[in-house]
Amino acid sequence: MQRREGFIFLSSPGAVTPFHIDSEYNFLLQVRGSKTVSMWDPADRFVLPEEELERFYATFVHRNLPWRDVFQTTAFVLPLAPGEGLHFPVTVPHWVKNGPEVSVSFSITFRTADSERRELLYKANARLRKLGLSPHARRTVDPARPHQADRLRRGGQPETAVGSCGLQEHLIAHIRCPV
């Protein structure tokens, strides 16, 4: 684990954190009040195009993403109450709305060697794109899923590209703890 950090968020009733991504893993623990988190599969290229990831990593100006109302139709909407927590994979698109009371939450973030390599790849792809090339994800078989090779031989597509970290694969960790 690298760059381990912790944050305490004190938020006003009804406050909204806009649609964005973060470059680190995050465990968000709700201490007081409530909030609702809307999040998307980070491998969903309709919501989070490769070019947007490249822009985020290569020219970090802000973590906020362009919003379209249609995105909300495919969101995982997860309410958090005191004593509950949620895991956010790297670059999972999300936005948050606090409930009607003051919200106190604790966030634990970190990076890994894999997330650092991913950042370097997106920076390199952004540079290649500036040179007029069109980098794209190579669809290959995930070694953890050997059954994909048979699927490819029959002309199908793999379930995911290697390196993707979709919510279906990682399961949304919704934690409940006694308060």
Give the start-to-end residue ranges of the domains of the chain: 2-176
Identify the DSSP state of 45: T
What are the per-10-residue average pLDDT scores of the chain (179 residues)? 89 96 93 97 90 82 86 95 95 96 96 86 85 71 50 43 37 49
Assign 51 to helix, strand or coil: helix
CATH superfamily membership of 2-176? Jelly Rolls (2.60.120.10)
Instruction: Output the pLDDT for position 105.
Output: 96
Task: Give how far Cα 25 sits from Cα of 22, 86, 120, Å.
Answer: 8, 11, 16
Instruction: Output the pLDDT for position 153.
Output: 46
User: Would you list the DSSP string of 82-105?
Assistant: TTEEEEE-TT--EEEEE-SS-EEE
Task: Give how far Cα 123 sits from Cα of 29, 33, 142, Å.
Answer: 31, 39, 23
Closest of 59, 46, 129, 56 to residue 91, by C-alpha: 56
Instruction: Output the pLDDT for position 166.
Output: 40
Instruction: Output the pLDDT for position 139.
Output: 52
| Residues 109, 94: Cα–Cα separation, whole Å | 15
